[in-house]
Structure 1
Amino acid sequence: MAEDVDAALARDPAGGSRLEMALASPGLHAVWSHRVTHAMWQRGGRWKLPARLGSQVTRAVTGVEIHPGATIGRRFFIDHGMGVVIGETSEIGDDCMLYNGVNLGGRTLAKVKRHPTLGDGVTVGAGARILGPVVVGNGAQVGANAVVVKDVPATGVAVGVPAKVRVPQAPAVDPFTDPALYI
């Protein structure tokens, strides 16, 4: 929980204090609730219904719907979480951030992997939709209101409807001006 609060403070310039974040961040509350309901879901059997009911109570209180079957990594933060939906087979890596209105949704009713996988360090802008079993690579960014239906490579930037992806090029290092050369 402390790690989640610290991640929230690092990503929210309006965050204030650790106490304020812990008490007043619905995105943080949704993540904490998910960690409990996910543990229940993984136990299976008679625990699945209470897990689903818990996730629905969290949805009513925070405006964030996270299916208890979704897998979420460490230091995950949802800023202004209202309207966020994370589907059952979604997988989210460490240090990811979602803004309001994001949908990690499916495109099939088949009982298969039908939701997105986000690598580590992914940021998804407000209103974005990532649909189907696509993979968004480590460090990638998805722009506000983008609709992503194809994989996004690591460090890629996806914007538009349908999303177009560009991968920023790393600046070339000039061996004659690199200070490490002189050490």
Structure 2
Amino acid sequence: MKGAYGTLREDLASAKLRDPAVNSNVELILGYPGLQAIWSHRLTHRMWLRGWRVPARLISLWTRTVTGVEIHPGATIGRRFFIDHATGVVIGETAEIGNDVMLYQDVTLGGRSLEPVKRHPTLLDGVVVGAGARVLGPITVGKNAQIGANAVVVRDVPDDAVVVGVPGVIKQPAPDMRDHWMEDPAIWI
């Protein structure tokens, strides 16, 4: 899919796939602040890259006021990203989010340094982050990993792992259970 219209359609299809409460595209467009925040971020990110930093920050702050989601314009976000329930989500400037990633409410992708370097996490494709989780620092969360609700993650997470607790404890599925774990991530987060 190409262009803004194709991206919009892809986002709507992704939201329908991930949220069984969705009834229509109109409901998604008008009533899902997570999608509205993502769409605003796409605009502000382009502005940020073009050097229009102050206007980009002002729009992102307005978006935070309206949606309850704060995404820094410098953050890089892939395709089919979805934020369910949205309120309280914070995504820092140097965060990188891959394709098909899902965050629940009150998630922070934050930094642990005040230095002007890569200081926020990288989430690879297919990551799911549960409600209230904190993923902090310039760490990498591997493909298809799942971060449990209220977990605090400050170390790299391998592909297909599940992280739970404070501090986050990494659990790896047994080889014969890997497909079962992926059936319904909600049972693990």
TM-score normalised by L of structure 2: 0.89
AA in 2 matched with 1:28: L
Match of 1:9 among 7, 16, 35: 16
Counterpart check, 1:35 vs 2:26: no
Secondary structure at the residue paired with 1:74?
A: coil
Partner residue, 1:107: 112
Counterpart check, 1:22 vs 2:29: yes
Match of 2:78 among 73, 78, 83: 73
1:96-175 superposed matches below 5 A: 96-171=101-176
Larger radius of gyration: 1
AA in 2 matched with 1:2: R
Secondary structure at the residue paired with 2:48?
A: helix
AA in 2 matched with 1:157: V
Unmatched runs of 5 consecutive residues or more in structure 2: 1-7, 178-189
Partner residue, 1:181: none
AA in 2 matched with 1:124: V
AA in 2 matched with 1:115: H
AA in 2 matched with 1:141: Q
Alignment partners' CA distance in 1, 2:90 and 2:124: 18
Spell out, residue by residue over 1:124-181, the C-alpha distance to the aligned partner (whole angstroms, 9 max, x if none): 0000000000100000000000000001100000000000001112219xxxxxxxxx
**Which structure shows the higher helix fraction?**
2
Unmatched runs of 5 consecutive residues or more in structure 1: 173-183
Aligned-pair Cα RMSD in Å: 0.8
Partner residue, 1:86: 91
Aligned residues between the structures: 170
Deviation at 1:115, TM superposition (A): 0.1
TM-score normalised by L of structure 1: 0.92
Alignment partners' CA distance in 2, 1:169 and 1:37: 42
Alignment partners' CA distance in 2, 1:33 and 1:155: 30
Secondary structure at the residue paired with 2:60?
A: helix
Alignment partners' CA distance in 2, 1:75 and 1:116: 18
Over 6 Å off, 4+ runs: none
Deviation at 1:123, TM superposition (A): 0.2
Deviation at 1:17, TM superposition (A): 1.2
Spell out, residue by residue over 1:36-68, the C-alpha distance to the aligned partner (whole angstroms, 9 max, x if none): 000000001xx1000000000000000000000
